[in-house]
């Protein structure tokens, strides 16, 4: 009787392990690795802080509640969601008041009106809450691009990229030579 080859059962992975493997492959395909995660998180937070400061500054300069939103106030007040919108603005104003109170250096800044600063923070909080799906997506995209840029600027990353490009070119050239040999062999028959 001949030796029976033992067939190995393929290793079954849990749904979590399959998901991690799938995401890992997608990140590697985009040029990212697990080592890039801390840089991506930090970049995401820095972009978020910059956006928050930018929106706050823009709201301080433009004063949306006095300029842009003035015509909308009456329409929102009459709508079904008017009470919720007013409650959300009141909550944002309360949070802004507490935030500005915790930062006394803001009140001492020359040429800064503390009341206007508080209202502009509340306006920026409301505006950012309304467009959160857009800003979150932008922060993810910007983090991805900035991490890739950071990787390209590092000398060892540039060398790795050159090596990958050379390997890809060699594989492509090897594939072309194989095709040519196959055609030449076919033509000789």
Q: Write out the DSSP string of 55-90.
A: HHHHHHHH-TTTTTSHHHHHHHHHSTTHHHHHHHHH
Task: Determine if residue 185 is left, alpha or beta; phi over 0 gives left, psi from -120 to 50 gives alpha, anything else beta.
Answer: alpha
What is the rounded CA–CA span in Å between residue 150 and residue 156? 11
Q: What percentage of the chain carries pLDDT values higher than 70? A: 81
- In this prediction, residue 55 carries a pLDDT of 95
Q: Which of 112, 111, 135, 116 is nearest to 67 (CA)?
A: 116
What is the rounded CA–CA span in Å between residue 139 and residue 136? 5
Q: Which position has the token pair 């993810």?
A: 140
Residue 54: pLDDT over 90: yes
Q: Which position has the token pair 């944002």?
A: 92
What is the rounded CA–CA span in Å between residue 28 and residue 20? 12
Of 34-38, 128-132, 141-145, the poorest mean pLDDT is in 34-38
- pTM of the predicted model as reported, rounded to 2 decimal places: 0.61
**pLDDT tens digits along 68-113:** 777 676 666 677 777 777 788 788 888 888 888 888 877 777 888 8
Residue 132: pLDDT over 70: yes
Q: Which of 55, 48, 57, 58 is nearest to 146 (CA)?
A: 48
What is the rounded CA–CA span in Å between residue 59 and residue 63? 5
Residue 3: pLDDT over 80: no
Q: Which position has the token pair 């301080």?
A: 60
What is the rounded CA–CA span in Å between residue 86 and residue 71? 15
């Amino acid at each position: 009787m001949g030796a029976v080859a033992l067939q190995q059962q393929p290793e079954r992975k849990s749904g979590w392990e399959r998901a991690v493997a799938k995401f890992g492959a997608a990140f590697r395909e985009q040029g990212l690795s697990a080592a890039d995660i801390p840089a991506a998180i930090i970049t995401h937070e820095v972009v978020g802080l910059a956006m928050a400061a930018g929106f706050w500054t823009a709201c301080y300069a433009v004063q949306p509640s006095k300029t842009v939103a003035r015509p909308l106030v009456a329409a929102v007040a009459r709508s079904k969601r008017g009470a919720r919108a007013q409650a959300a603005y009141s909550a944002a104003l309360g949070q802004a008041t507490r935030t500005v109170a915790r930062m006394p250096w803001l009140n001492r800044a020359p040429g800064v009106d503390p009341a206007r600063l508080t209202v502009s923070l509340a306006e920026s909080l409301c505006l950012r809450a309304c467009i959160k799906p857009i800003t979150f997506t932008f922060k993810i995209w910007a983090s991805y691009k900035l991490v890739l840029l950071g990787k390209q600027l590092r000398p060892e990353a540039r060398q790795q990229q050159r090596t990958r490009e050379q390997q890809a070119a060699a594989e492509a050239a090897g594939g072309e030579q194989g095709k040519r040999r196959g055609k030449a062999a076919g033509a000789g028959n």
